[in-house]
Amino acid sequence: MAEVKLYGSWSSPFSYRIEVALKLKGVEYEFIDEDVHNKKSPLLLKYNLVHKKVPVLVHNDKPICESLVILEYIDETWEGPSIWPGDPYERATARLWAKFFDEKCVHAMWKVCWSKGEEQEKLKKECTELLKILESTLSGKKFFRTGETIGMVDVTGNFVAYWFGILQELAGLQVFTKEKFPNENLPPEDKLAAHFQARFRAVAASK
């Protein structure tokens, strides 16, 4: 049987994207929980030479890095329900949304929680605009693609749907409006809150 290993982190939204995709396909895998903020394993550093980040999927000793690349690989490699649209135009659109999440949303929503003053105010406005785009695009649908089934855009939107809500609460922000994203296969909220609280404290103490 093919050997599938996921070098991930329980608190990482990027890592969860891969877990969701593997579970939807029914692929069995071993999860290696990396301590990315303190001590990365030699194998992770070897497999992800460029970014040295999780997730890394190792399939029969061959590493694949970067969550969006891994999501495509999973879809092309295993039979089972596909989270990618079959139509080339819809596929291109899905890629565009994934880029929107990673390059716009994750970036701004992460930064707004760790910034202060004028910079934070600017970022709050940016986040609100991004959320408005998402809200109007979903307009009452449960999922992006058809509204009925989960697709790769929903999977890549997990940071906005879940992580950001917890982070903004800890940062004392009220930016997040109610979003329509799938809520399954997510880490325990209290554990994730404690993890990021410890990180907020560590950053505050180091200043």
Given 5, 6, 7, 14, the residue binding ligand GSH (CB under 6 A): 14
Contact 131, 175 (CB under 8 A): yes
Chain centre to alpha carbon of residue 141: 20
Q: By CB under 6 A, which span of 51-59, 116-124, 144-152, 169-177 interacts with ligand GSH?
A: 51-59
DSSP at 7:
E
Q: How far is CA 58 from CA 7, 20, 45, 67, in A?
A: 8, 16, 13, 12
For residue 99 the two structure tokens come to 């880029």
Edge to edge, what strands does the sheet with 56-59 contain? 30-33, 4-8, 56-59, 62-65
Shorter beta-carbon distance to ligand GSH: residue 33 or 135: 33
Shorter beta-carbon distance to ligand GSH: residue 128 or 196: 196
CB of 66 to ligand GSH, least distance (A): 5
156 contributes a contact to ligand GSH by CB under 6 A: no
Q: For ligand GSH, what does the binding mask look like between residues 55 and 84, x meaning CB under 6 A? A: x----------xxx----------------
Cross-strand partners of 8: 33
Given 5, 12, 113, 138, the residue binding ligand GSH (CB under 6 A): 12
Count residues contacting ligand GSH (CB under 6 A)?
Answer: 11
Q: How many CA atoms lie within 13 A of 185 on its CB side?
A: 18
158 contributes a contact to ligand GSH by CB under 6 A: no
For residue 128 the two structure tokens come to 């609100």
Q: Which residue is nearest to ligand GSH (CB)?
A: 53
Amino acid (one-letter) located at 173: L
Amino acid (one-letter) located at 122: K
19 contributes a contact to ligand GSH by CB under 6 A: no
CB of 10 to ligand GSH, least distance (A): 10
Q: Which residues bind ligand GSH (CB under 6 A)?
A: 9, 12, 14, 36, 52-55, 66-68
